[in-house]
Every structure is written in C-alpha cells, then in structure tokens.
Structure 1
Amino acid sequence: MIRLDFPPAFLLAIVVTALASGLGGYYIGAASPRIRDLPAAAPPGSSSSKSASSPLKDSFENISASDAEDNDDDDDDSDDNGALVQSDYSHFGASALTEECKMVLCVRTDLGMTKGKIAAQCGHAVLACYKTVSRHAPLLLKRWEYIGQAKIALKVDSEEELLTLQAQAVSVGLVARVIHDAGRTQIAAGSATVLGIGPGPKSIINQITGHLKLL
C-alpha cells in the first residue's frame, strides 16, 4: 500500500516546487514570440515559391511557340509558300481527303552529296513540309499519317530544275519547300539541296514530278 503519512517538510517542498515551475513556465511563454503570430509558409504553387525558381528554368518556360518554330537548328529552309496553302486543300476538292496521299523529295544529284548528307537534307525537307502542312491543312496531314506517310525520293539534275518544280508545285496549291545547306561540311553554303513537295493528293503531285526517276 502507498504511504500517505509524509513529513510536513516534504509536502511543503513539493508544493513550493510545483508553484515555482508553473509561474516560471508562464512568464517564459509570455515573453517569447507566439507560434501563431509567425507568417505562414507559402504553398508550393504560390508566387513566393515561383520567385525562388532558377532564372534558367524560367527562361525555358517563357520561350514562345513562334520562337521555337523559328529556331531551325542546322540548315536554312525558306518559308516558300506557307501563306499560299489553303486550309485543308479545299481547292483540290473532295478527292484531297479520299485518295492516296504522298510526299516527294527531289534531290539534286549534281552536288555529289554522300548518302548520309542526302539523308540529312531529306530529313530537313520532310520536317519543313510537315510543319507547313500542319498549320494549313491538318485534316490532309492526318490522312497522310494514317495511310503510311509515303515519302518518295526522286532525282533532279540541277538547281534550275529544282526551282522550276517548286514553282509548278506552288502554282497548283501544293506545299513546296526548298532546303538550303548551311555549308558546314561537303557543299557551299546556301546551296539548294532538296525540294520537298506535299504531302498532297497523289494525282496532283504526279502531275509535277511523275516524269522524274527514283533516287
């Protein structure tokens, strides 16, 4: 059993200690800043947290779509006839969205480009045509993608022939993009290397390039 007959002096000491501890804690707490008065931490998505983000990250986030489109990294391809392409090739009639579609790549053989160089230039031409058609004829582009994205490489013998084909393609409403080399490797800077035509209805493109031989 617990003894309750403690000496009076012991009980007095306990009471005095308890009172001293209580009063000391009260005054210490009153003198220190209260936690509830402290400013709340900003949530992760607030403006204060954004201000702490790195300038490099912000610079990438603020790049506009038009800036990105204008930043072609290797060769300089001119925006030949983007503004002339009518929306969804409506000028071709209903057949534009029903018949087979293709893209042709007319490669100059007089420049003596290696196979690797030709492949790189054709890649630039495909991208240039794709970007233009995606802005002006998205439905036709989707059809071309759906049926296999046909791309045919053809031979041309000179820059004059290349530019003639481009003018003919533009005259019937086709996308026609000429790629000019940057001149860092095999050929002179500014040389017209590849003409990309399309994607567009096969029958229309054949009117322009049907006489050319396969590369």
Structure 2
Amino acid sequence: MEVKQVIAVRADLPMSRGKLAAQVAHAACGASDLAREREPELWREWVLSGAKKVVVAVRSEEELLRVFEDARREGLPAFLVRDAGRTELPPGTPTAVAVGPHRSDLVDKVTGSLSLLR
C-alpha cells in the first residue's frame, strides 16, 4: 500500500517563492501531526517509506476550501493554513491545504484532478 501526502497551494496569490514554500511547509507539518495522532501506524509507514509529498496548485480560495472540505468528508487528515498576515498577505488569508498522509488511492479521490505546481 502506498501512502502519501498532497499539499494544495493557491497559485492566484501574489506570494514570493519563500512565502509559498513556508505555507506548504506549515500545511505539511499540520496534517502530519493530525495523522500521527489519528493513525499512528499509517503515519509510521509513511515516514519509513520516505514521507512522499506532492505539491499541486489550485486557482482560487474556493477551490482550496473545496479540497479541504472534500478531504474532511472522506475522513482524511487535512490541515488548512490561514496566513498570520505579518508579511505579504492580509491576516486570515487561506493559502494551502495538506491532505494526508494516508493511503494514496484515498488521497487521490480528493486531489487527483489537480495539476502539479510548476
């Protein structure tokens, strides 16, 4: 069984590369913590297999929130990042969502149609 995490980040926001990387990292860590608490054996398998992560792009806040809600509806660990507003974005701006780590087939049900971030 393959286990992975997918992080969706908003491509419509004017974020520097560093800011975008930080938002992705916040999402990845947050969802990993949720998975470790909820399904420690699955989380351990993910870590031992290399902690696979895939970063994809969404085009809007609405699309990002849809990914988050779909993941939660499927019972997957999902973490939504809202920016603190200290640097480039207004406070509370939703920037990224991480789904998983969990079984790849289940994560793909939510994120499989999204394009890789380029």
In proportion to residue count, which structure has more helix? 1
Report the RMSD for the aligned CA atoms in angstroms. 0.7
- Give the C-alpha shift of residue 131 in structure 1: 1.3
Of residues 143, 149, 156, the one that matches 2:58 is: 156
- Unaligned runs of 5+ residues in structure 2 are none
Aligned to 2:48: 146
2:21 equivalent to 1:123: no
TM-score by length of 1: 0.53
Partners of 2:31 and 2:67 lie apart in 1 by: 15
- Give the C-alpha shift of residue 171 in structure 1: 1.0
How do residues 29-178 of structure 1 correspond to structure 2 at under 5 angstroms?
A: 99-178=1-80
2:115 equivalent to 1:213: yes
- Unaligned runs of 5+ residues in structure 1 are 1-98
The letter for the 2-side match of 1:165 is V
The letter for the 2-side match of 1:124 is H
How do residues 166-205 of structure 1 correspond to structure 2 at under 5 angstroms?
A: 166-205=68-107
- Give the C-alpha shift of residue 163 in structure 1: 0.8
In proportion to residue count, which structure has more strand? 2
Partners of 1:165 and 1:157 lie apart in 2 by: 12
The letter for the 2-side match of 1:125 is A
* Identical residues among aligned pairs (%): 38
TM-score by length of 2: 0.96
Larger relative contact order (Cα-Cα within 8 Å, sequence gap ≥ 6): 2
The structure with the larger Rg is 1
The letter for the 1-side match of 2:32 is Y
- Give the C-alpha shift of residue 134 in structure 1: 1.3
Structure 1 stretches of 4+ moved >2 Å: none
Partner deviation per Cα, 1:149-196 (whole Å, 9 max, x = no partner): 001000001111111111111111101110000101111110000001
Residues matched between the structures, number: 117
Partner deviation per Cα, 1:126-158 (whole Å, 9 max, x = no partner): 111111111111000000011110010000011
Partner deviation per Cα, 1:6-51 (whole Å, 9 max, x = no partner): xxxxxxxxxxxxxxxxxxxxxxxxxxxxxxxxxxxxxxxxxxxxxx
